[in-house]
Amino acid sequence: MCNEPAHNPIRRSLHQQQRDPHCAPIRELETLCDAPEHYERARQRRDRDGSASACHGAQQCDSRPCERRCDGNHHHRPPWDHAVSARARRGIASVAARLRREEAGLTLVELLVAVILMGIILTIVASLFVTTTRSTAQSGEVHEATGNVSNMANAMNGVIRFATTNPKSGSTIPDPAIVEARANELVLMAVVQVSATVEPQGRPPRPTLVEYSIVGAGRELQERRWNPTGSNSNWVFGGSDPTTQTPASIRSLGGRLSTGGAVFTYFDINGALLNPGTGQLDATNRAKVAAIGIRLSVVPPDEPTANPVVIERRIPLTNLGLREPS
């Protein structure tokens, strides 16, 4: 609410200047208590009536209230204009300061923090990449080792299962199927690669002497084979120890066998273990062998510290006795 002139010194002073034609618009605005909405209505009424909107100079205003509202440019400035201008200036200054900060670039501390964070992120990514690559490589090595040990077991099974005795001239007791029986070495005669044609002079199918042993620092399982020669109705291997002769074929079954543990174990017809110890089975125990157990523990080739792949089988000698004389 507007105060009465008696209680408003500005209005009282303005009432005393009613004869001043230059300050009439200002007196009209002052009577509206300097409120913005009243000022707007007064401005519209002033424009409609064509009254003057500015003082003609501070020197033409006799009173201080009128002079206070007339600036040097002869424009009327409402009382809230100073507050609005101050807020605008503060806003512009704030925006300018922010733009200056944005254009100033990074400080040394900010750059150092960014480098440290980037290093941490790159370290984590590199660790994940190395771990994933190593895990993939180990999986591939284990898969390869599994394939190798499976192929080795199948190859040995195809020979050991067909082990057989070999009749000899002048004796009713044939040569035993197991020639040597050690923990990590086996020599036996087996009927493999049999010809479809009938052997001359009534000889039985030709046997093959096969040796399995671990060779080299890589502990590879090696297979060597010797072929016999025909003598009347029998087959004869050269020399007292055929394994000292030049073999007909040599091949590596692959894999890298781990140390420790026996590759071959021997069982009689009742399943009892025939233990060769650190040597080999004697002739009496070799004649009792009815089944041979194999244990292949293969280490991945490029991962010597990885867990080995192990396959164990017990292979019966099903052909024993079929060629013994009646």
Q: What is the pLDDT of residues 20-53, one digit of tens each?
A: 444 444 444 444 444 455 556 666 666 666 544 4
Distance (Å, whole) CA 189 – CA 225:
10
In Å, how far are 100, 107, 110, 111, 211 from 97, measured between CA atoms? 5, 16, 19, 21, 91
Q: What is the pLDDT of residues 128-183, one digit of tens each?
A: 999 998 888 778 877 888 888 888 999 999 999 999 888 877 777 888 889 999 99
Tracing tokens 């394994």 back to the chain, one arrives at 243
Tell me the pLDDT of the chain averaged across its residues: 75
pTM greater than 0.85 (yes/no) = no
Closest CA to 302 of 146, 151, 129, 140: 140
> What is the reported pLDDT for 41?
66
Distance (Å, whole) CA 293 – CA 156:
11
Q: How does residue 294 score in pLDDT terms, banded at 50, 70 and 90?
A: very high
> What is the reported pLDDT for 259?
80
> What is the reported pLDDT for 190?
92
Closest CA to 158 of 297, 294, 263: 294
Long-range contacts of 172-175 (CB under 8 A, 24+ apart): 172/325, 174/323, 174/324, 174/325
> Where is average pLDDT lowest: 31-40, 110-119, 282-291?
31-40
Q: What is the pLDDT of residues 265-278, one digit of tens each?
A: 999 999 999 988 88
Q: What is the pLDDT of residues 55-76, one digit of tens each?
A: 444 334 444 444 444 444 444 5
> Where is average pLDDT lowest: 42-46, 121-125, 226-230, 298-302?
42-46
- pLDDT above 60: residue 263: yes
Contact between residue 221 and residue 239 where contact means Cβ atoms under 8 Å apart: no
| Burial (0-12, 13-18, 19+ Cβ within 10 Å), 142 | middle
Contact between residue 93 and residue 85 where contact means Cβ atoms under 8 Å apart: no
- Pick 295 or 137 by higher pLDDT: 295
Tokens of 39: 């000022």
